[in-house]
Structure 1
């Protein structure tokens, strides 16, 4: 996905979805409230932390878990959901791949309670630049969530309802540790395209092939790497894992058709696979 087409693709998608909306929904002056995070009022509320959360008790009493004021709209939640399901166009890399997978999948009996709603924290807002970007929200436990909010990587504790900034990439970010191959000059104003958080390690991948590695229990950044200077260098996906020897590794899929493996015990790139459609390929980590 070339980075220079990111915003263009997003606008095309928005236009296509707008054409498919029901006329009643388009003409309703309150319909913008459904996507309330885009309104100027909500943006100010986010900045001032004034948006009300929705608790499980309030949801049981009838409050919408997303905070949508359905009673003020001329369309019901059920009608809106029905229209959305009928007209929403899902993005597919492979045409009609969903039809094939549904034929191969086992139909699960509906009606089971797999999850229970606990809380919607509307004052905590993640920002994703483009609908194709992956893994920008990570849950490392039942209560710990890491996500992108503009140029900040935020940790949210769902138990205490507190947030803290883990890393800010709006300005200059450089490693405070010295390792062979690490880019000591670091990066400035990195646009993060993907994240990985696991085993106390956080990795951010940028639009220009940047990799920023930070241990959550250490101050500062430990390692920076520019994987490629290719024009098409968006970091598509990252995966942190332990090798058979127990060493901590991560794999990075970059849009230059490269998949790279890094040993974080030695802070070294150990493998580089050159393949087509790197983000869609699967590799054995043996």
Structure 2
């Protein structure tokens, strides 16, 4: 789950006066402004430890949310959210139109089995409509954008490593037709693609950077 999506969920719960008390309790006092509450809510999630498949089978929440400390169960909150939360749509009623055209499948099938959830890997999404900022090249290799960096994480080793950092000055190592030899500075990444050790990253201002690892 992304940072913004989780904040949206927790803000929704705060409207029901469930999360605010929990944040205050963890902080040892009343929360400050709205921004402080959001940061504290995010910290609560990221401070939680990883969740293994064994822990999940024993009843631990796979996202690390301490439902036992809230005045609402996961099932009740999920049901309420499905009934009341409205997703953003560029085209009004587009979701309902698709539901009418597409074949409805029976629910209840077990298509995936939970394996592991880590909270040491923190992708950052600058806008909720952005896509292709998380890229899986195998069952255990994931590339993601975190702040100004493209990171690689291995689910086997648990190692998180930096592939390229756009916070400073990035310039091409080879001369090619059309390359901007002076390079870029503080490039905000809007999309990435990775395959066969070849990384392509695009920026908000039309920047295009390629790297072979």
| TM-score (norm: length of structure 2) | 0.82
Q: Distance in 2 between matches of 1:142 and 1:118?
A: 12
Aligned with 1:80 (options 66, 73, 77): 77
Q: Report how far residue 204 of structure 1 moved.
A: 1.1
Tell me whether 1:148 sits opposite 2:145 in the alignment: yes
Counterparts of 1:116-131 in structure 2 under 5 Å?
Answer: 116-131=113-128
Q: Distance in 2 between matches of 1:28 and 1:167?
A: 38
**Residues 126 and 148 in structure 1, CA contact (< 8 A), matched pair in contact too:** yes
Give the number of the structure whose residues are more often strand, by fraction: 1
User: Structure 1 residues 106 and 44 mapped into 2: Cα distance closer, same or farther (>3 Å)?
Assistant: closer
Q: Report how far residue 89 of structure 1 moved.
A: 2.0
Tell me whether 1:133 sits opposite 2:130 in the alignment: yes
Q: Report how far residue 44 of structure 1 moved.
A: 9.5
- Give the corresponding residue for 2:163: 166
Q: Distance in 2 between matches of 1:43 and 1:98?
A: 33
Tell me whether 1:106 sits opposite 2:103 in the alignment: yes
**Cα offsets for 1:87-144 (capped at 9, x unmatched):** 2221212211111111111111222211111111011111111101111001111110
Tell me whether 1:90 sits opposite 2:101 in the alignment: no
Structure 1 stretches of at least 4 aligned residues deviating more than 2 Å after TM superposition: 20-28, 38-46
Which range moves more in the overlay, 24-33 or 170-179?
24-33
Tell me whether 1:63 sits opposite 2:92 in the alignment: no
Provide the secondary structure at the position in 2 that maps to 1:146: strand
Provide the secondary structure at the position in 2 that maps to 1:110: coil
Q: Distance in 2 between matches of 1:212 and 1:21?
A: 40
Structure 2 gaps of 5+ residues are 27-37
**Cα offsets for 1:219-271 (capped at 9, x unmatched):** xxxxxxxxxxxxxxxxxxxxxxxxxxxxxxxxxxxxxxxxxxxxxxxxxxxxx
Counterparts of 1:1-286 in structure 2 under 5 Å?
Answer: 23-25=15-17, 28-30=20-22, 38-40=38-40, 43=43, 51-216=48-213
Give the number of the structure whose residues are more often helix, by fraction: 2
Q: Report how far residue 181 of structure 1 moved.
A: 0.8
Q: Distance in 1 between matches of 2:99 and 2:49?
A: 38
**Residues 14 and 20 in structure 2, CA contact (< 8 A), matched pair in contact too:** no
Provide the secondary structure at the position in 2 that maps to 1:194: strand
The size of the alignment, in residue pairs, is: 195
**Residues 18 and 70 in structure 2, CA contact (< 8 A), matched pair in contact too:** no
**Residues 21 and 87 in structure 1, CA contact (< 8 A), matched pair in contact too:** no
Q: Report how far residue 27 of structure 1 moved.
A: 6.9
User: Structure 1 residues 54 and 128 mapped into 2: Cα distance closer, same or farther (>3 Å)?
Assistant: same
Give the superposed CA RMSD.
2.7
Q: Distance in 2 between matches of 1:94 and 1:113?
A: 32
| TM-score (norm: length of structure 1) | 0.62
Q: Distance in 1 between matches of 2:41 and 2:105?
A: 41
Higher RCO structure (Cα 8 Å, ≥6 apart): 2
Provide the secondary structure at the position in 1 that maps to 2:164: strand
